[in-house]
Amino acid sequence: MKHKVTVSNLGYPRIGKNREWKKTLEAFWSGRLNEESFRAEMASIQLAHLHTQQEAGIDLIPVNDFTFYDHMLDMAVMFGIVPERYEYNGGEVDLDLYFAMARGNAKATACEMTKWFNTNYHYIVPEIGELQPNLTVNKLLAAYRFAKSEAGIDGKPVIIGLYTFLKLSKGFPSSDIATIAERFLPVYVQLLRELEEEGVSWVQIDEPAIVTGLDVEDLSLLEVIYKTIADSVPGLKIMLQTYFEAAEPLESLLRLPVHGLGLDFVHDGGANLESIARIGWPENKWLGAGIVDGRNIWRSDLDAKLKLVERLNVHVGLDCLILQPSCSLLHVPVTVQGEDKLKAVVKNALAFAEEKLAELSLIGLAIGGDRAAIESPLQDSREALSVFRSLPERGRQDVAEQVRSLADLPDRRSLPFAERVKVQQQKWQLPLLPTTTIGSFPQTPEVRQARLKWRKGVWNQERYDGFIRQQIADAITFQENLGLDVLVHGEFERTDMVEFFGEKLDGYLFTRNGWVQSYGSRCVKPPVIYADVAFIEPMTVKESVYAQSLTKLPVKGMLTGPVTILNWSFVRDDLSREEVANQIALALRHEVQALESAGIEMIQVDEPAIREGLPLKAGDHEHYLNWAVKSFRIATNLVKDTTQVHTHMCYSEFNDMIASISAMDADVISIETSRSHGELIVSFEEREYDKGIGLGVYDIHSPRIPAVEEMSASIDRALRALKPEQFWINPDCGLKTRGWEETEGALRNMVEAASIVREKTRAVKI
């Protein structure tokens, strides 16, 4: 297969068709594989990925996209950026140290991990501080040589751009970035020079940080970096690669002395093409055209893609066009083959990494003029999409009507919070500083095995239900014995807070093997919203009602919110995310109603992922937050004044969102703060928040049992910023990953800390 236009890939999923990458890593960590076998196994996985791309007809195959853990960590380690606590003495970083940075060891804690832009991938944050970079190893060169000798591939080395690397690192004031860049540039250039000497042609330098917005200083830093590179390695062709959003201002970016600029034409809202049409494209500059969605799992509409390429061709010319996915395929699963449980019409509408490469190759052939060769696959593709699009469950009248009728629904609770809170106090008679938990209790191996037996049919429904009831009953007794004020049923029936609802709602499907890497060896299999989402029947009422029947204390109903369900799924792309969120919200509204009618009058609707959905450009935040908040309110605002709506969020960067969070109008919010307590509280000192709030008083991510004094100190600190009447005492997240023993110890201390502070507060009041 020979294309007249170059077809390229930006990165291939690491995890392997059957997650063999993950299994190899975990076998090595547990000591089941020695280093030699580990390396050999990894090399064969890497080689298989190269072969797949070769067979798909990709002209420019990325190398160095493969890693043993994470590409940011690789880059830090290549430059010898190893924090002092690991007692590193220079030289090449060995595997023990490499994995210690990722996962911690007996002597030193792991490096921080955080989300890669607006994806669900997490990278290791480099800690630069005073460290001096030096080139400990050239991983790009090794990867290039490997592809050449093992597969005869003249690969395209991929590396994170220095600008993005530094923007995402920590340990220095952001105003020092230009000085630090100067420190790194010679080493960065040395790395590229070795590639030049090796005879490498193209290098892909990933600069996704560009799309988050550039000010004058950012631009001049980019100029310094790319001018230095151009002057130092004139023999290399540099593709400056952006993705996830529009690259702006394009005029300035086009002036950077690089051979090619890579742009995302899928997630840019049309802005990249508009800019090109407006300002034109310089002669002799290559355009890396990201035309196939690297973030979602749907088959491309090839006719639309061909049209897009034709438009690009007008401005750029085929000689300078490279067709590629919108970003690395790291964010999609490996292949649709093997998804035999799906209906054919649905399976045929999916395209994972392998299928996306085939699409690109096909588009490449078509653009090169070989229409005949592609006529039949093009026809197949058209047909597959048209059958899928006309599925009745994707265009339901009833759902459309409900969404339309949203305009007529009240957009708020019937009483404002200041008045609601009084009737709620009267109804619930909660003590000052009420204690509660976030929802889940330990998911022990016993619970997981029971679920497995039930799924496999070894246990019938009745037996499984009986088991779950027993777990709930035990959890209620456990909480009563501890003296908690507001109880939960424990979520034993749920594997995952999104999957559980997806399985019970219309509009969802589940793949067998649609895994993507979340961080390190951890993979997730997001459920897929392929059709209109709608309520079928109550999803959580049975368990909540049973739990409530066992106690006089209030038991919170427990739901996952619309925005979290949306953000942790693969979502159909023919509707806006806002529309899909509204569909989910309407379905949840039914559930809230069902719970309330069944006598559950404290209802928690978790939105841990609301912040993750924030658009990359600050200018788009407001629109997103508006509809996100609205969908939460649709789900919850129909309840009686006395019904208490709770919500929970899993992050602490909260400052820029307090107004939106308040606008959600939940009566009580609990947030994860124990790891950054001080910072968050300061933001409450600066801004008014009048509703109930529980700032997590201990970190559930560690098995450590915090002492009473530690928690009471943290409550005291919070009470300097918040009124005792509004403050709740809870751990900072659900307890499902913990064991019972430490859960009991920690909660016992938490309840005691609460009662100590309660006494003190009362004494002061009298």
Do the beta carbons of residue 7 and residue 59 sit within 8 Å?
A: yes
By Cβ distance, which residue is nearest to ligand GLN? 734
Which position among 210, 733, 751, 757 is part of the footprint of Zn ion (CB under 5 A)? 733
Which among 489, 590, 677, 701 is annotated as catalytic?
Answer: 701
Structure tokens, 496:
């995952």
* 687: region left, alpha or beta (phi > 0 left; psi from -120 to 50 alpha): beta
646, interface contact from Zn ion, ligand GLN, none, CB < 5-8 Å by kind: none
558, interface contact from ligand GLN, Zn ion, none, CB < 5-8 Å by kind: ligand GLN
CB of 608 to ligand GLN, least distance (A): 4
Q: 239-252 burial by CB neighbour count: b if 16+ within 10 A, else e?
A: bbbbbbbbbbebeb
CB of 512 to ligand GLN, least distance (A): 24
Maximum C-alpha span of the chain: 88
DSSP code of residue 534: E
Print the binding letters for residues 552-571 with ligand GLN: x by CB under 6 A, - otherwise: ------x-------------
Q: What values do phi and psi take at 158, rounded to 5? A: -120, 135
Which residues partner with 708 through β-bridges? none
Give the nearer residue to ligand GLN in terms of CB position, either 497 or 666. 497
- Name which of residues 391 to 450 contact ligand GLN (CB under 6 A): 438-440
Q: What values do phi and psi take at 324, rounded to 5? A: -155, 170
Residue 728, helix vs strand vs coil? strand
Give the nearer residue to Zn ion in terms of CB position, either 210 or 650. 650
Give the nearer residue to ligand GLN in terms of CB position, either 222 or 558. 558
Q: Residues touching ligand GLN: how many (CB under 6 A)? A: 13
- Name which of residues 602 to 631 contact ligand GLN (CB under 6 A): 606, 608
Alpha helix (H) residue ranges in 503-657: 541-549, 562-567, 577-597, 621-636
* Distance (Å, whole) CA 513 – CA 337: 9
From the list 14, 5, 43, 3, the residue with the least C-alpha distance to 353 is: 14
* 137: region left, alpha or beta (phi > 0 left; psi from -120 to 50 alpha): beta
Judge whether 489 counts as a catalytic residue. Answer: no
Give the nearer residue to Zn ion in terms of CB position, either 155 or 696. 696
Instruction: State the number of CA atoms in the 13 A half-sphere of 171 facing the CB.
Output: 18
Residue 10, helix vs strand vs coil? coil
From the list 252, 180, 165, the residue with the least C-alpha distance to 213 is: 252
CA 674 to chain centre: 21
CB of 543 to ligand GLN, least distance (A): 13
CB under 6 A: which stretch of 164-172, 313-321, 616-624, 729-737 binds ligand GLN? 729-737
Do the beta carbons of residue 716 and residue 757 sit within 8 Å?
A: yes
Print the binding letters for residues 83-112 with Zn ion: x by CB under 5 A, - otherwise: ------------------------------
From the list 358, 359, 265, the residue with the least C-alpha distance to 315 is: 265
CB of 696 to ligand GLN, least distance (A): 10
736, interface contact from Zn ion, ligand GLN, none, CB < 5-8 Å by kind: ligand GLN
Print the binding letters for residues 194-213 with ligand GLN: x by CB under 6 A, - otherwise: --------------------
Give the nearer residue to ligand GLN in terms of CB position, either 288 or 731. 731
Q: β-strand 557-560 against 528-534: which pairing, if any?
A: unpaired
DSSP code of residue 126: P
* Distance (Å, whole) CA 320 – CA 672: 49
CB of 115 to ligand GLN, least distance (A): 14
Give the nearer residue to ligand GLN in terms of CB position, either 320 or 671. 671
DSSP code of residue 520: T
- Name which of residues 463 to 522 contact ligand GLN (CB under 6 A): 491, 497
Angle, alpha carbons 582-585-587 (nearest 5°) = 115
Give the nearer residue to ligand GLN in terms of CB position, either 343 or 522. 522
Q: Residues touching Zn ion: how many (CB under 5 A)? A: 3
242, interface contact from ligand GLN, Zn ion, none, CB < 5-8 Å by kind: none
Instruction: Examine residue 249 and say whether the peptide bond preceding it is cis (omega within 30 degrees of 0).
Output: yes
- Does 664 participate in binding ligand GLN (rule CB under 6 A)? no
Which position among 733, 747, 751, 757 is part of the footprint of ligand GLN (CB under 6 A)? 733
- Does 650 participate in binding Zn ion (rule CB under 5 A)? yes
CB under 6 A: which stretch of 143-151, 243-251, 316-324, 728-736 binds ligand GLN? 728-736
CB under 5 A: which stretch of 4-12, 516-524, 643-651, 751-759 binds Zn ion? 643-651
Q: β-strand 62-63 against 506-509: which pairing, if any?
A: unpaired
- Name which of residues 602 to 631 contact Zn ion (CB under 5 A): 608
* Distance (Å, whole) CA 269 – CA 226: 27
CB of 734 to ligand GLN, least distance (A): 2
439, interface contact from ligand GLN, Zn ion, none, CB < 5-8 Å by kind: ligand GLN
Give the nearer residue to Zn ion in terms of CB position, either 188 or 501. 501
Catalytic residues: 701
User: Which residues are near ligand GLN by CB under 6 A?
Assistant: 438-440, 491, 497, 558, 606, 608, 648, 650, 733-734, 736
List of residues contacting Zn ion (CB under 5 A)? 608, 650, 733
